[in-house]
């Protein structure tokens, strides 16, 4: 635990922590002066396109690339046979997920294709258009194999086994049986049960997956220009599988056009680009097009959950039992595995509540569909929706208000730290305060009155709540203990430049959420300069400290703490030098707004630029024996708890047109507790963006597959995303419970919006339709499904 002494920079009057500072780097983005991977042009660069499997499951009998190779502008056409010596396969398993198994995955299909869109042949050409022309000329002879698409029957004995060497189609299974579940259900006053379907959906980052692999055979260096969230992880994986010296691999990640968890995984086509640059000795660019993105980016969710919940007569939850099955495509995705989402569902369902009796059976199965893996919210949207829907159902059965049932069942404020029946340890949460604040800001009572009045007029409005916990700031317990070389620690190197400016290099990365801005705010506060004087460098493994990057809502909590500690160290070093120069005790000095001042009077003693000048250019004038160190590096890893759990309370107000089945979102509220809020402006829109993504899952987004395993809506015309016209105004407020595990006290905030919205929207729809005896639990809630639930079609 950290000592929150009087020295904490959080409390200093010139602290920038907690202020709404606009992002300096946003200016460049607003002027079209960003650098995304596709903007980069390298000499002699070639472009990749892939011949991909049109079938979900097929044996590749023969490949004829003669015509493709003859096309002017085509440099190389390769199959897996050509890449055998350039790349080793990978298997997506982790040691701590007991029993998880998967099959080797290759950059190109190795004899068989296991999902529609799996790359089979790679074409390198002088332009993408020519590469596509060549793909059109490739002839592949397939023997179709029976596709396994339905996850519910994937484990049936008569279902073909996708990877015969694995023995069955089970990737991973987990059970929890905590307390006395049977007794609790037997004694319950009310038991509610429901089956939920969580639609398979995908990230749809506006910038698709993008990579340029640039191998220099002369010095055996590989430079990867990648749109990625975790540069150091990529450095390790490309070195490992391409057989290169890891120290000679550099990952450069400039602007990233959205990621949401999609850009932390190993993709065959990207690894093929790596193999090809080694083969050709030229830069190889691969930019996934939108159709490729839909079938080959990781998908998420695709769970069927059957769950029940027990209540006392007073409305307290006493037990939860759940069966979860999820289909993940034909491979567990490397290196994080596709077992984590299910694991989170098992860990987190009904997480805010104090029930002690909890039983889960959860299974992860293989199927011949696109691969499924971690995407924003990872399991949370499912866990939250299941728990919160059952609470609402229970409240209705008990004749109680849904907010009241939540209040009665929350883990009591005095019970923290608290160990959940799934084994998760919560440091401290503010469920009751958050819900009370939410109910106040939305004027819940007035909305209920209005709802009753409107119902008389045939207008059906619904109010839905979702209280949630979110896993942030992961320790090595997440991946490291399982053997993956994914750093959970992160570092920051901070330097005073001769100008008095501060340069800060951090291992966490920027994808627009404002990482660089908050690091600047923290560093500025810690050192004592204005944020505008801090330049932050991210996304270059040659430059930044070794770190995990940005995922699992870790940027602010882990990277921020490292920046804070590095800034404090630099400040100490500066004051030591200043004290020697000014012949004053360092403790009597302070740094404020870029000036060394007298701590008591605030009188200016020396600008930092003057100190920089003396140190860097006039060392001869410094006192004897003084060796200034104007660079400091600090690292941080969360150790006292495996995770920092945040919490939030969401509410959604909507109206269902019971004639058309259309849902109109009227308003949305979030009260969020992410600990110390570093920049409210950024947190607010980050939260809203998360909510909108969750609304997408609830109302629009779904990867639709035919029984044969063909994705039938893989374009932006057919895969519906949340757009401005339909989205509500979203109110965001905070309760602040800083984590004591760090001095900064920040927990993550990146995923809570996405975690809560699907459940809140589902509850609001069911609240609206309650008087009509209609109920829905199969996302997305399309007009078709709503009308069917209403018995209109």
Partner 1 sequence: MTAPIIVTLTVNGEPVSQAVEPRLTLVDFLREAIGLKGTHVGCEHGVCGACTLRLDGVTVRGCLTLAVQCEGATVETIEGMTESGAMKDLQDEFVERNALQCGYCTPGMLMSAAELLERNAMPSREEIREQLSGNYCRCTGYQAIVDAIETTARKRGALGR
Partner 2 sequence: MRLKPRAFEYVRARSLQDVFSVLDAHGDEAKILAGGQSLVPALNLRLAAPEIVVDVSAVEALSGITVVDDVLRIGAMSRYIEVATSDLVARHAPMIARAIPYIAHTAIRNRGTFGGSLCNADPASELPACALALKAVFNISSSAGERKIAASDFFLGTYTTALEPNEVLVSVEVPLTGPGSLFYFDEVARRQGDYAMAGLAARAEVRGGVLADARLVFFAVSDMPLAASAASALLEGKAPGSFDAEVVCEALAQTIVPLEDLTTSSATKLHLMKVLTRRALTDFAGKEA
Interacting residues toward partner 2 by CB under 8 A: 49-50, 52, 117, 128-129, 132-133, 135-136, 289-292, 295, 659-662, 700, 702, 704, 712-713, 715, 717-718, 720, 723, 725-726, 782-784, 787-788, 792-793
Kindly tell me which of 246 and 685 has the beta carbon lying closer to partner 1.
Answer: 685
User: Measured between alpha carbons, how far is 726 from 479 in angstroms, rounded to an integer?
Assistant: 38
Kindly tell me which of 128 and 303 has the beta carbon lying closer to partner 2.
Answer: 128
Task: Write out the two tokens for 748.
Answer: 């993550």
Print the SS3 string covering 26-60. HHHHHCCCCCCHHHCCCCCCEEEEEEECCCCCEEE
240 binds, among partner 1, partner 2, none (CB under 5 to 8 A by kind): none
788 binds, among partner 2, partner 1, none (CB under 5 to 8 A by kind): partner 2
Kindly tell me which of 67 and 291 has the beta carbon lying closer to partner 2.
Answer: 291
Among 499, 727, 770, 785, binds partner 1 (CB under 8 A): 727
Q: What's the burial of 399, exposed, middle or buried (CB within 10 Å: 0-12/13-18/19+)?
A: exposed
409 binds, among partner 1, partner 2, none (CB under 5 to 8 A by kind): none
- Residue 105 phi/psi, 5° resolution? -120, 140
Cβ–Cβ under 8 Å, residues 76 and 280: yes
Kindly tell me which of 236 and 782 has the beta carbon lying closer to partner 2.
Answer: 782
Cβ–Cβ under 8 Å, residues 180 and 356: no
What is the CB-side half-sphere exposure of residue 119 using CA atoms within 13 A? 28
CB of 72 to partner 2, least distance (A): 12
**260 contributes a contact to partner 1 by CB under 8 A:** yes
713 binds, among partner 1, partner 2, none (CB under 5 to 8 A by kind): partner 2
- Catalogue the E-assigned strands of 233-383: 249-252, 284-287, 299-311, 317-327, 357-365
461 binds, among partner 2, partner 1, none (CB under 5 to 8 A by kind): none
Among 206, 399, 414, 627, binds partner 1 (CB under 8 A): 206
- Residue 385: which H helix or E strand, with range? helix 380-398
User: Measured between alpha carbons, how far is 747 from 557 in angstroms, rounded to an integer?
Assistant: 5
User: Measured between alpha carbons, how far is 622 from 584 in angstroms, rounded to an integer?
Assistant: 14
- Residue 460: which H helix or E strand, with range? strand 460-472
Kindly tell me which of 238 and 260 has the beta carbon lying closer to partner 1.
Answer: 260
Among 4, 11, 39, 64, binds partner 1 (CB under 8 A): 39
482 binds, among partner 1, partner 2, none (CB under 5 to 8 A by kind): none
Kindly tell me which of 445 and 718 has the beta carbon lying closer to partner 2.
Answer: 718
Residue identified by tokens 């450095």 is: 235
Among 16, 23, 190, 275, binds partner 1 (CB under 8 A): 23
Instruction: Report in angstroms the alpha-carbon separations of 251 from 246, 274, 278, 578, 735.
Output: 11, 12, 15, 38, 38
Alpha-helical (H) ranges within 663-711 are 680-699
Q: Contacts with partner 1 in 280-319 (CB under 8 A)?
A: 289-290
CB of 294 to partner 2, least distance (A): 9
445 binds, among partner 2, partner 1, none (CB under 5 to 8 A by kind): none
CB of 263 to partner 2, least distance (A): 19
Cβ–Cβ under 8 Å, residues 577 and 532: no
117 binds, among partner 2, partner 1, none (CB under 5 to 8 A by kind): partner 2
CB of 213 to partner 2, least distance (A): 20
Instruction: Report in angstroms the alpha-carbon separations of 314 from 395, 405, 767, 781.
Output: 10, 8, 21, 32
Q: What DSSP string runs through 698-716?
A: HHT----B-TTS-BS--ST
- Paired residues of 470 in beta bridges: 646
**257 contributes a contact to partner 1 by CB under 8 A:** yes
Cβ count within 10 A of residue 554: 28
Task: Determine the interface stretch with partner 1 among 319-327, 473-481, 508-516, 559-567 (rule: CB under 8 A).
Answer: 508-516
Cβ count within 10 A of residue 167: 9
CB of 659 to partner 2, least distance (A): 5
Torsion over CA: 625, 629, 635, 636 (sign): positive
Q: What's the burial of 565, exposed, middle or buried (CB within 10 Å: 0-12/13-18/19+)?
A: buried
**400 contributes a contact to partner 1 by CB under 8 A:** no
First to last CA, the chain: 60
Give the x/- contact pattern for partner 1 in 669-688, rule: CB under 8 A: ------------xx-xxxxx
Cβ–Cβ under 8 Å, residues 469 and 422: no
Strands 284-287 vs 299-311: parallel, antiparallel or unpaired = unpaired
User: Measured between alpha carbons, how far is 696 from 716 in angstroms, rounded to an integer?
Assistant: 13
Specify the DSSP class assigned to residue 212: E
Cβ count within 10 A of residue 486: 24
Cβ–Cβ under 8 Å, residues 462 and 389: no
Could you give the 3-state DSSP secondary structure of residue 20? coil
Among 129, 440, 543, 704, binds partner 1 (CB under 8 A): 129
Among 19, 34, 455, 498, binds partner 1 (CB under 8 A): 34
122 binds, among partner 1, partner 2, none (CB under 5 to 8 A by kind): none
The widest CA-to-CA distance across the chain, in whole angstroms, is 89
Among 79, 693, 741, 754, binds partner 1 (CB under 8 A): 693
Among 4, 7, 11, 22, binds partner 1 (CB under 8 A): 22
Task: Determine the interface stretch with partner 1 among 184-192, 532-540, 564-572, 690-698 (rule: CB under 8 A).
Answer: 690-698
Report how many residues bind partner 1 under the rule CB under 8 A. 57
Among 4, 7, 11, 27, binds partner 1 (CB under 8 A): 27
- Residue 131: which H helix or E strand, with range? helix 128-137
**729 contributes a contact to partner 1 by CB under 8 A:** yes
CB of 338 to partner 2, least distance (A): 23
Among 4, 11, 29, 139, binds partner 1 (CB under 8 A): 29
Q: What's the burial of 88, exposed, middle or buried (CB within 10 Å: 0-12/13-18/19+)?
A: middle
Among 5, 31, 601, 627, binds partner 1 (CB under 8 A): 31
Cβ count within 10 A of residue 51: 24
CB of 660 to partner 2, least distance (A): 5
**1 contributes a contact to partner 1 by CB under 8 A:** no
CB of 290 to partner 2, least distance (A): 7
397 binds, among partner 2, partner 1, none (CB under 5 to 8 A by kind): none
- Residues, the chain, total? 793
Kindly tell me which of 133 and 302 has the beta carbon lying closer to partner 2.
Answer: 133
CB of 330 to partner 2, least distance (A): 19
Kindly tell me which of 47 and 355 has the beta carbon lying closer to partner 2.
Answer: 47
Kindly tell me which of 203 and 548 has the beta carbon lying closer to partner 1.
Answer: 203
**38 contributes a contact to partner 1 by CB under 8 A:** yes
**733 contributes a contact to partner 1 by CB under 8 A:** no
Cβ–Cβ under 8 Å, residues 487 and 669: no
Task: Write out the two tokens for 117.
Answer: 């869109």
Task: Determine the interface stretch with partner 1 among 198-206, 390-398, 464-472, 473-481 (rule: CB under 8 A).
Answer: 198-206
Task: Write out the two tokens for 217.
Answer: 């055979």
Kindly tell me which of 709 and 748 has the beta carbon lying closer to partner 1.
Answer: 748
Kindly tell me which of 295 and 513 has the beta carbon lying closer to partner 2.
Answer: 295
512 binds, among partner 2, partner 1, none (CB under 5 to 8 A by kind): partner 1
Task: Write out the two tokens for 29.
Answer: 């983005």
Which residues are at the interface with partner 1 (CB under 8 A)? Answer: 22-23, 26-36, 38-39, 129, 203-208, 255-260, 289-290, 511-514, 681-682, 684-693, 715-717, 721, 723-725, 727, 729-730, 753
């Amino acid at each position: 635990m950290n000592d929150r002494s009087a020295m904490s920079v959080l409390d200093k009057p010139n602290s920038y922590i907690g202020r709404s500072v606009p992002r300096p780097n946003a200016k460049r983005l607003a002027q079209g002066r960003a650098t995304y991977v596709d903007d980069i042009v390298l000499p002699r660069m070639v472009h990749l396109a892939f011949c991909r499997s049109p079938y979900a499951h097929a044996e590749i009998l023969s490949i004829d690339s003669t015509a493709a190779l003859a096309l002017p502008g085509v440099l190389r056409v390769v199959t897996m046979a050509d890449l055998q010596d350039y790349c080793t396969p990978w298997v997506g398993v982790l040691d701590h997920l007991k029993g998880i198994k998967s099959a080797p995955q290759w950059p190109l299909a190795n004899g068989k294709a296991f999902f529609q869109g799996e790359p089979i042949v790679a074409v390198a050409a002088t332009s993408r258009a020519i590469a596509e022309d060549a793909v059109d000329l490739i002839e592949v002879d397939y023997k179709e194999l029976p596709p396994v698409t339905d996850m519910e029957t994937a484990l049936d004995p008569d279902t073909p086994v996708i990877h015969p060497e694995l023995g069955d189609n089970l990737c991973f299974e987990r059970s929890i049986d905590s307390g006395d579940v049977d007794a609790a259900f037997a004694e319950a006053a009310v038991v509610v049960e429901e089956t939920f379907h969580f639609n398979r959906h995908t990230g749809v980052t506006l910038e698709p997956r993008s990579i340029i692999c640039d191998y220099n055979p002369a010095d055996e260096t590989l430079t990867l220009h990648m749109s990625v969230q975790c540069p150091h992880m990529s450095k390790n994986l490309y070195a490992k599988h391409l057989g290169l010296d890891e120290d000679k691999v550099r990952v450069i990640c400039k602007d990233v056009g959205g990621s949401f968890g999609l850009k932390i995984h190993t993709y065959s086509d990207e690894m093929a680009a790596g193999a090809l640059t080694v083969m050709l000795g030229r830069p190889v660019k691969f930019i996934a097009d939108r159709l490729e993105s839909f079938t080959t980016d990781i998908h998420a969710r695709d769970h069927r959950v059957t769950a029940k919940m027990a209540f006392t007569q007073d409305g307290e939850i006493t037990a939860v039992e759940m069966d979860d099955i999820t289909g993940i495509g034909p491979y567990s995705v490397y290196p994080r595995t596709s077992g984590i989402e299910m694991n989170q569902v098992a860990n987190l369902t009904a997480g805010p509540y104090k029930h002690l009796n909890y039983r889960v059976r959860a299974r992860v199965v293989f199927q011949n569909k696109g691969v499924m893996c971690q995407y924003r919210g990872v399991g949370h949207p499912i866990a939250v929706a299941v728990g919160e829907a059952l609470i609402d159902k229970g409240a209705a059965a008990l004749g109680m208000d849904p907010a009241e049932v939540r209040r009665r069942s929350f883990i009591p404020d005095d019970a923290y730290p608290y160990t959940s029946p799934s084994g998760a340890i919560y440091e401290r949460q503010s469920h009751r305060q958050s819900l009370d604040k939410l109910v106040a800001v939305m004027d819940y009572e007035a909305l209920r009155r209005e709802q009753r009045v409107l119902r008389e007029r045939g207008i059906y409005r619904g109010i839905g709540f979702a209280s949630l916990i979110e896993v942030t700031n992961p320790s090595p317990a997440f991946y490291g203990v399982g053997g993956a070389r994914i750093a959970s620690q992160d570092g920051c190197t901070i330097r005073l430049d001769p100008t008095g400016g501060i340069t800060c290099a951090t291992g966490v990365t920027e994808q627009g959420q404002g990482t660089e801005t908050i690091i600047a705010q923290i560093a500025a506060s810690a050192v004592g300069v204005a944020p505008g004087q801090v330049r932050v460098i991210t996304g270059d493994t040659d430059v930044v400290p070794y770190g995990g990057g940005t995922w699992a809502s870790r940027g602010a909590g882990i990277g921020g703490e490292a920046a804070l500690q590095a800034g404090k160290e630099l400040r100490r070093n500066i004051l030591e030098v200043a004290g020697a120069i000014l012949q004053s005790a360092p403790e009597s000095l302070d740094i404020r707004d870029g000036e060394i001042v007298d701590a008591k009077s605030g009188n200016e003693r020396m600008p930092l630029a003057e100190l920089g000048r003396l140190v860097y250019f006039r060392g001869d004038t410094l006192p004897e024996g003084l060796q200034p160190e104007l660079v400091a590096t600090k690292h941080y890893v969360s150790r006292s708890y495996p995770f920092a759990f945040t919490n939030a309370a969401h509410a959604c107000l909507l109206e269902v047109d019971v004639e058309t089945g259309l849902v109109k979102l009227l308003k949305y509220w979030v009260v969020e507790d992410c600990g110390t809020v570093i920049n409210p402006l950024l947190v607010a829109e980050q939260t809203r963006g998360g909510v909108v993504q969750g609304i997408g899952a609830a109302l629009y987004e779904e990867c639709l597959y035919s029984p044969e395993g063909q994705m039938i809506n893989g374009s932006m015309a057919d895969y519906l995303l949340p757009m401005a016209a339909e989205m509500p105004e979203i109110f965001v407020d905070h309760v602040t419970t800083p984590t004591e595990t760090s001095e900064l006290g920040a927990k993550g905030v990146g995923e809570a919006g996405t975690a809560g919205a699907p459940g809140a929207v589902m509850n609001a729809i069911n609240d609206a339709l309650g008087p009509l005896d209609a109920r829905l639990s199969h996302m997305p809630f399309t007009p078709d499904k709503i009308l069917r639930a209403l018995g209109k079609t």
